[in-house]
Structure 1
Amino acid sequence: MFSTLYILTLAGNTIIVTIISFDRHLHTPMYFFLSMLSASETVYTLVIIPKMLDNLIGPSRPISLAGCATQMFFFITLAINNCFLLTAMGYDRYVAICHPLRYSVIMNKRVCIQLVGGACSIGLTVAMTQVSAIFRLPFCATKVAHFFCDIRPVMKLSCIDTTVNEILTLIISVLVILVPMGLVFTSYILIISTILKIASAEGRKKAFATCASHLTVVIVHYGCASIAYLKPKSENTKDQDQLISVAYTIITPLLNPVVYSLRNKEVKDALLRAIGKKLS
């Protein structure tokens, strides 16, 4: 089942990146951010799922300390990168609907690259800080009670009190989950207030349609992340943590191509054009 979901995730995100790259009709800021998100999700799943599948197929195989640190580094980097890419997409929708006449000026190529670069830089900085703090701890246990090297399961292996690391993790989680989520929902409050002022019912419907796919992904992504990293430590159980982790490492990356391909007319049209060219 996980192998099938993984193949679908890889195929879906790869198709989105390829279609957006080669179809000139999709060379807009909105689809540039979508292609960056799909590429990030693809690498994000590569960091976690192959090792998980390897352990599911046969006896659990060990991962070195360096390998565990590397996996955590890329996982944190890409997860935070995805959070801020969704924020950039929300800002793009805000400018497109609330300032349509200035859209091409505000969302120029330079600004788009800066937003993507900023999202990646924040992810790298936070990952280096978090991984450095965790892997300076002395470890007594050697078995991670999880299917990948996530933050809390690795901290549980430590011989000493990890209160300082837990406070650091909470502060980082608030900054990289609640702040981007707040910015996205602020954008949507302004977007909705603008849409409601549109006189035409058809115009309102079209404006809502352009935001529906993004909002769906935002709710699932930030919802899973909030449950995983912002809930009290006392409420954590091994089974609950693993179930939530499956949601944001396997289901969310699959949701992205499904939502944006099935609910987006421009992507579907681009895909049909590509298939038509291939057949001809």
Structure 2
Amino acid sequence: MGSLNISLGGDFILVGFSDWPELESVFFIYILIFYSINLLGTTAIITVSRLHTPMCFFLSYLSFLDLCFTTNTVPQLIISLHGLDRTISYGGCVAQLFISLALDSTESVLLVVMAFDRYAAVCRPLHYTTIMYPLLCQTLAIASWVGGFLNSLIQTGLMMAMPLCGYRLNHFFCEMPVFLKLACEDTGGTEAKMFVARVVIVAVPAMLILGSYAQIARAVLKVQSVAARRKAAGTCGSQLLVVSLFYGAATYTYLQPKDSYSESKGKFVALFYTIVTPMLNPLIYTLRNKDVKGALWKVLGRSAATG
């Protein structure tokens, strides 16, 4: 018999890491620890937004996105690893897919905005406060949300129009490449449309960021002061590391053909960018950026003084 078409309802089974039962207990402990660290780190960074510097403002948005993304996926994974329930309703799965795509897309645009902020700080230092005024920062942040949710709406709508055969998702959350594996019919046309959307939201921002950092590198090389070079390199180096982690995982997940996508490898890549990267982002920024580190200490100092 053919597979049941479940496009209009039913429950999915999230296979998760049940293929490696001996690792599930280990994953459960480590993921719980990493998720707790992520909650503490992102919450601390979000409080820095009260200082209203552009860098801290955008970093608080990035931390908020990371917090939302992990909260959208990790609780389901923890439940699955604990063996309580591996099912998710069709509506819940679509909602999870939409939210994760929206947050990923928003972060992709936000990283471009943050690269522009670093470009203005390093290449136009005398005009930085004029360029990055509060209203522009807020507008750019809102634009990143609008672009991210619009991209997610397009891709999720295309996915929902496809008939799906089967109910087992070989993943720990509802992700687009796994859905494409369940398609009942040739998805060439739909894949082509999705690929264009992914290029716009992943490849184009990555190229813009690389262009920004090429200009930043040229400006830094012209600086005579060694201390100023180190400060600029430290500030920009932290963001470049975050960008590399994010776009490396996004390229593997979204910019390869369905037939070459490995579900097993995809799960571990997804585990990295849903658990490890959000946990590292606050550490990378606070340890490599003196301004953010100083802002955190100011917030902590004020809290201690009023406590």
TM-score (norm 2): 0.86
**Corresponding residue for residue 220 of structure 1:** 245
Give the % identical residues: 37
Match of 1:20 among 45, 49, 61: 49
Q: CA offsets, 1:120-169, max 9 Å, x none?
A: 11111111111111112222211111111100111222222211222122
RMSD, aligned CA: 1.5
**Corresponding residue for residue 167 of structure 1:** 192
Q: CA offsets, 1:186-217, max 9 Å, x none?
A: 01111111111112222212221221111110
- Structure 1 residue 259 displacement after superposition: 0.4
- Structure 1 residue 261 displacement after superposition: 1.7
**Corresponding residue for residue 231 of structure 2:** 206
Structure 1 residues 225-234 or 183-192, which shifts more?
225-234
Give the aligned length.
276
**Corresponding residue for residue 89 of structure 1:** 114
**Corresponding residue for residue 133 of structure 1:** 158
Structure 2 CA distance, aligned partners of 1:277 and 1:127? 40
Structure 1 residues 203-212 or 42-51, which shifts more?
203-212
**Corresponding residue for residue 237 of structure 1:** 262
Structure 2 CA distance, aligned partners of 1:222 and 1:161? 28
- Structure 1 residue 30 displacement after superposition: 1.2
Are the equivalent residues in 1 in contact too, given 2:96–2:174 (CA < 8 A)?
yes
Structure 1 CA distance, aligned partners of 2:304 and 2:225? 40
- Uncovered stretches (5+) of structure 2, i.e. residues with no partner: 1-29
- Structure 1 residue 14 displacement after superposition: 0.7
Confirm or deny that 1:2 pairs with 2:31.
Answer: yes
Confirm or deny that 1:52 pairs with 2:90.
Answer: no
Amino acid at match of 1:218: V
**Corresponding residue for residue 190 of structure 1:** 215
**Corresponding residue for residue 58 of structure 2:** 33
TM-score (norm 1): 0.94
- Uncovered stretches (5+) of structure 1, i.e. residues with no partner: none
Amino acid at match of 1:15: A
